[in-house]
Amino acid sequence: MVDTIPYIVDENDPELESGRVEYGSCTGYLSRPKGGAGLGSVIVIHENVGLVDHIKDVARHFAREGFAALAPDLLQRTGGTAQYRTSEDAIAAIRSLDPDGCVEDLTSALQYLKSQGFANGKVGVVGYCWGGGQSLNFATKCNDLNAAVVYYGRNPNPLEQVANVSCPLMGNYAEDDPNIMPGIEPLKEALARSGKTIDLKVYPGARHAFNNNTNADRYHPEAAADAWQRTVDFYKGNLS
């Protein structure tokens, strides 16, 4: 076992300002260092079960690293994550979302972060599972991003859209992930054809969703700790 960061950050951590925010027709969970200024910002995109406590905790971890982190509830268009009593219901709702609507809501999140007095105007995005695919897709649609990170997400369709990525790109993937791994080499090749690169790492022995410590069957603490540090360092290099 490796030493990892304390995984659960108290929602009432006295060093942070954390809670629900509204911006336009969207809602999300914002966490940032209390009294912080000139902060780089991170949009944290949830998995296919919506904006659950685990993703709010991820946002607080980014805040503890010195970022302003906004986790949008991309199920807001269907009434919000909280209304779904089971993960199956949330997953069904996620599948019904209009991809263009997701891009619009992520754009609203970016604009909100850029407008805040505590922010420095630089914004990155990170997504996990379904959110990983949304993170990469958003990077193909938005020229205002300063960094994008994908955790085991699907490639955009069509893949050639990656030629539109204009920010530094990082990917963290699991070796034991049969639905995602076949897309890795095509992604690298498509990026290379357009003169772009990705800082990509595949974790041996890890499975899809290895970062989610609430999923005992999938959580891989060593991979999660390494990918976390890679992500934090990447953002500190691109969002400062």
Q: What is the pLDDT of residues 141-182, one digit of tens each?
A: 999 999 999 999 999 999 999 999 999 999 999 999 999 999
Q: Could you give phi then psi for residue 178, rounded to 5 degrees?
A: -65, -20
Quote the pTM value: 0.96
pLDDT of res. 151? 98
DSSP 68-126: EEEEE-TTGGGT-GGG-SSHHHHHHHHHTS-HHHHHHHHHHHHHHHHH-TTEEEEEEEE
Judge whether 140 lies within some domain: yes
Q: Which residues pair with 189 in a beta bridge?
A: none
Structural domain contains residue 232: yes
Mean pLDDT of the chain: 96
Residue 3 lies in a domain: no
> What gap in Å lies between CA 16 and CA 32, rounded to an integer?
6
Q: How many domains does the chain have?
A: 1
Domain of residue 28: give its range: 16-238
- The 3-state DSSP class for residue 184 equals helix
Domain assignment present for 7: no
pLDDT for 2 beyond 50: no
Residue 4 lies in a domain: no
CATH code: domain of residue 187: 3.40.50.1820
Evaluate whether residue 6 is within a structural domain. no
Average pLDDT over residues 186-214: 97
Is 79 within a domain?
yes
Q: Is residue 8 part of a domain?
A: no
